[in-house]
Each structure stands twice: as structure tokens, then as C-alpha cells.
Amino acid sequence: MTTEPLATAARSLREASDAADDDEVAERLASQADQFERHADGDSSPDHGRLARHEHILSSISDDEGDTEAAEHVGEALAAIRSYRETVEGV
């Protein structure tokens, strides 16, 4: 079963990767997109800790990218992740 906010995050990260000017940033974003695709389609959902690590990585990338199309897509992914995280039990 696909978890829609995580699938949305994956799509936004894929778009961010495609829009990134720097090859290293594009690879990091593609890796994050791959992970969120697995989270969205997986049998178990990521916990708060894993989501926090993703948020930290993506916030750092977004800050480094500044005001770009890639950063805009990362922001969309972060919004979807935060929306999903509100539904996760614990912490």
C-alpha cells in the first residue's frame, strides 16, 4: 500500500534532482527520492528518527541551493514529510 505523503515527497525530490545544477546535489536528491519511494511502498513506515534525519539532510540541501527551482521542490517534499510525520505515533 502506497503512503501518499511519502510518495508526494518522492516525486518532489525526483523533480528537485532533475532541476539541480550541481551533479553531487542531484545525486543526493535522487538518493533521497529512492528512499522515499521505498518508504511509500514498504510494509513498514519510517519512524520519527528516520524522518528527522531526512528532514535535516533536505533542509541542508535546500539552504545550500538558495532560491532555485530545486530548492522549491525540496520545500514541497519537506511539507509532505512534515504532514506525514504528524500522523506517526510516538514522540
Residue 54 neighbours by CB under 8 Å, 6+ apart: 32, 35, 36, 46, 81
**Any domain includes 37:** yes
Task: Round to whole Å and give the CA distance between 60 and 69.
Answer: 15
**Residue 67, C-alpha cell as written in the block:** 532560491
Predicted pLDDT at 33: 97
Residue 14 neighbours by CB under 8 Å, 6+ apart: 29, 30, 33
**Residue 83, C-alpha cell as written in the block:** 504532514
How many domains does the chain divide into? 1
Q: Given a cut of 60, is residue 15 above it in pLDDT?
A: yes
Digit-coded pLDDT (tens) for 46-74: 999 999 999 999 999 999 888 899 999 99
Predicted pLDDT at 36: 96
**Any domain includes 91:** no
Range(s) of the domain holding residue 8? 4-85
**Any domain includes 90:** no
